[in-house]
Each structure stands twice: as C-alpha cells, then as structure tokens.
Copies of this chain bind each other. A is one copy, B any other.
Amino acid sequence: MILDSKRGDVGNTAERYAIEAFERYGADAVTVNPYLGRDSLEPFLKYADKGVIILCRTSNPGSRDLQDLEVSSGRKLYQVVADLAAREWNSRGNCLLVVGATYPRELAEVREIVGTMPFLVPGVGAQGGDVAAAVSSGQTADGTGLVISSSRGILYAGTDGDFSAAARSATQTLRDQINASRTASAR
C-alpha cells in the first residue's frame, strides 16, 4: 500500500510523519516532497525496508513553474532532484521517483540519470498521459522499473451498479496497454 501524502516537513516533524505512515497506517511506501531537503527525507529513508517515493517531475501543468527551472549546473531542478536521489538519498536502496506519464521526454531524461531506480508514474487515465509513450520512455533496459498509477480512470470508470465490473475492465485494459509497450524480452 502506497500512502500518497506528499509529506515535506522539518526533521522533528518528519520523524512523526514517518511513524504515521509506516507504523500507524502500515504503508509499504509513502510519497514525499523534496523542497525541504535531506533532513526532511531522512526519517523516512531510515526505514530501509519501506519505499520512499520522491516527487521529481510531477504530472500537472504547474510542474513547469519550479521543477523546470535551469540551475547553474545547466541541469533543470527536477534533474537535480533525480541526481540527489540516485547519489545521496538512495544509500539504502529504498527510493523511487514520481515522474508523470504526461511528460515522456522527462521520463527518458530521468531514467538516464538514475539507472534502474523505480518510478511511480501518475498521469495516465484522467490526466491524459499516453501509456505507450510513458512505458517506452520510462522503462529500464529489461522492461521494468515502472509503477503506473491510474486513480480516477479506474475509480470512476463506471457509476452505480456497474462500478465494480467497469473498474475491473478499466484495470485490465490498462494492464494490457502497459504490457504491450514493454520491451519484448520482458513480456
């Protein structure tokens, strides 16, 4: 279970949010916001057997406002976040990155930076991201590395009595679309 609470707070408070996520709610992984830096992430990272999913290049239009700013190293901010995650924050091997399906080029760029680190990929379904483009841009060499999330596209696939059948059907369709776009060796 992923707790998508996008936490980002100073160390003392982050300690309590980590307890909330992993001990109170028993989440397997939690999403976190990197704007407050290392000490805001460390309380989550130290749960070595839990996943820490760091916002990198998000699926929404406003992601351009800060995440695409070019910093003095010539990289964009989201690329710096990817690099920090790969080089520093992932020392226990439990980091993932949020990279939106709505931006396939950025998916490929982040994949280039972080090697085989898994991505949580929102933005298919209601947000309009193309599944085939997201998979081909974001997958690892062996056709894995993506946790593709559709929320509204499945939750609201049907209404009233057909809810469960429609949700099942939407889920199966998405699964098949994903698998059809993976590298041949992984299918």
Q: Report which A residues bind B (CB closer than 8 A).
A: 6-12, 33-41, 55, 58-67, 69-72, 77, 80-81, 84, 122, 126-127, 152
26 A-B contact pairs sorted by A residue (CB < 8 Å): A6-B8, A12-B152, A33-B35, A34-B35, A35-B35, A35-B55, A35-B58, A35-B66, A35-B67, A36-B55, A36-B58, A36-B60, A36-B62, A36-B66, A37-B60, A37-B64, A38-B61, A38-B62, A39-B61, A39-B62, A40-B60, A41-B62, A66-B77, A70-B71, A70-B72, A77-B77
CB distance from A81 to the nearest CB of B (A): 7
Determine the distance from Cα of A71 to Cα of B9 in the docked complex, in whole angstroms.
Answer: 23
* Residues of the B chain whose Cβ atoms lie less than 8 Å from the Cβ of A8: 6, 8, 33, 35, 55
Given A33-B33, A37-B66, 20 additional A-B pairs, CB 8 A: A6-B7, A10-B59, A10-B122, A11-B61, A34-B35, A34-B65, A35-B55, A35-B58, A35-B67, A36-B55, A36-B66, A38-B61, A38-B62, A38-B65, A39-B62, A66-B80, A66-B81, A69-B77, A71-B71, A72-B72
Q: Quick one: copies of this chain in the complex?
A: 2
Inter-chain contact B69/A80, CB cutoff 8 Å: yes
Chain B contacts of A72 at CB under 8 A? 69-72
A65 to B, closest residue via Cβ: B37
Closest to A37 in B: B62
Shortest C-beta distance, A130 to chain B (Å), equals: 18
- Given the complex, which residues of B lie within 8 Å of A81, measured CB to CB? 66
Q: How far is the CB of A145 from chain B (nearest CB, A)?
A: 22
How far does the Cβ of A78 sit from chain B's closest Cβ, in whole Å? 10
Residues of chain B within 8 A of A122, CB atoms compared: 10
In the assembled complex, the CB of A47 is this many whole angstroms from the nearest CB of chain B, namely 18
**Residues of B contacting A67 in the complex (Cβ-Cβ under 8 angstroms):** 35, 37
